Amino acid sequence: MSDLTGRDAARRVALLGVPVEVGASQPGTLMGPAALRTAGLGPLLESLGFAVEDHGDILGLDLVRADDPPPQNTRHYHEIGAWARIVSPRAYALARSGAIPIFLGGDHSLSMGSVNGVARHWHEMGREVFVLWLDAHADYNTPATTLTGNMHGMSGAFLCGEPGLDDLLGNQPRASITPDQLDLFGVRSIDPLEKELVHDRRVAIVDMRAIDEFGVGVLIRRVIERVKAKNGVLHLSFDVDFLDPAVAPGVGTTVPGGATYREAHLVMELLHDSGLVRSVDIVELNPFLDERGRTARVAVELIGSLFGLQITYRRTPTNAVFPDST
């Protein structure tokens, strides 16, 4: 464990590429980590005063696949399990070091490992982890509710301890969150049985109608205040299909009517001001479907706002950079 603590540790960012693509319906997200680096993620964070540690990409050659019978309706179950089992301990170690881990995807199935690992660390620290799921989709399917069997659509349910994928992590510790620690934000596509499950679990949902009615500022502040009231920390799981396809075309599951460029920046700016975000996923970027790197550049710009990039100088709260890691 690093001997850096408090604010010095909070000025360190650790990048880890997770080039998994089998959880999605279309190939191409394995190129996401390279695209984000090429778009200048590391240099941008350094320009904001962060020490950036790039840990490279997890290699597919390092995966160890189990041979237990897979549950029904789980495409590429053994490979997704292998990714989760290698990502979770890496996420735990990075969070424990005091750095702010940023997991570069890769499809959204990577969150089964990344969130599990950081949640394990924060559970040990006596803090609750809340997960803000910026996504067009709820990703709260189980093997019993899914229409496609694509496991990137099961990540949220897995993290909340829903049954059906109980052996996915093998012998790795499972650090589930509760459904009231998950906020689905920007949702505009939910499967029928998935909708019933989310309703039954009373998962907080901000759909695009709510954003149209009340605005992202009001709604993201509600999330922030709820996390603060519990003395929690926040993991941001940012699926680029949260954005409208006109802004971010480089995704395999585009849904019209997403967040605008300015709405997304406001979300990130308010999250920065809150000082709550201690780990981040960037997922579902598919450079094969992009337009000259446009979506990767937008994603990097948004992460810049999350880490303090401002158009003009603005007074921010004293805890805005990021709170102590204890």
Give the residue numbers marked as catalytic: 108, 135, 137, 139, 152, 239, 241, 284
Judging by DSSP bridges, how do beta strands 100-105 and 12-18 pair with one another? parallel
Our measurement of the distance from residue 269's CA atom to the centroid of its chain's CA atoms, rounded to an integer in Å, reads: 17
Q: Which residue matches tokens 């409208």? A: 244
49: region left, alpha or beta (phi > 0 left; psi from -120 to 50 alpha): left
For residue 129, the one-letter residue type is V
Residue 71: DSSP 8-state = P
Tell which residue, 89, 91, 99, 90, has the closest CA to residue 2: 99
Q: Which two tokens stand for residue 242?
A: 């949260």
Q: For the sheet containing 182-187, what is the strand order? A: 51-57, 12-18, 100-105, 277-283, 233-239, 129-134, 182-187, 204-207
Give the tokens for residue 6: 């408090």
Spatial contact of 315 and 281, defined as CB atoms under 8 Å apart = no
Q: In 3-state terms, what secondary structure has residue 194?
A: helix
Query: What six digits make up the tokens of 272?
Result: 């920065």
Q: Which residue has the tokens 């929690």?
A: 232
Instruction: Give whole-number Cα distances, 66 to 170, 230, 238, in Å.
Output: 8, 38, 29
Is residue 51 classed as helix, strand or coil in its secondary structure? Answer: strand
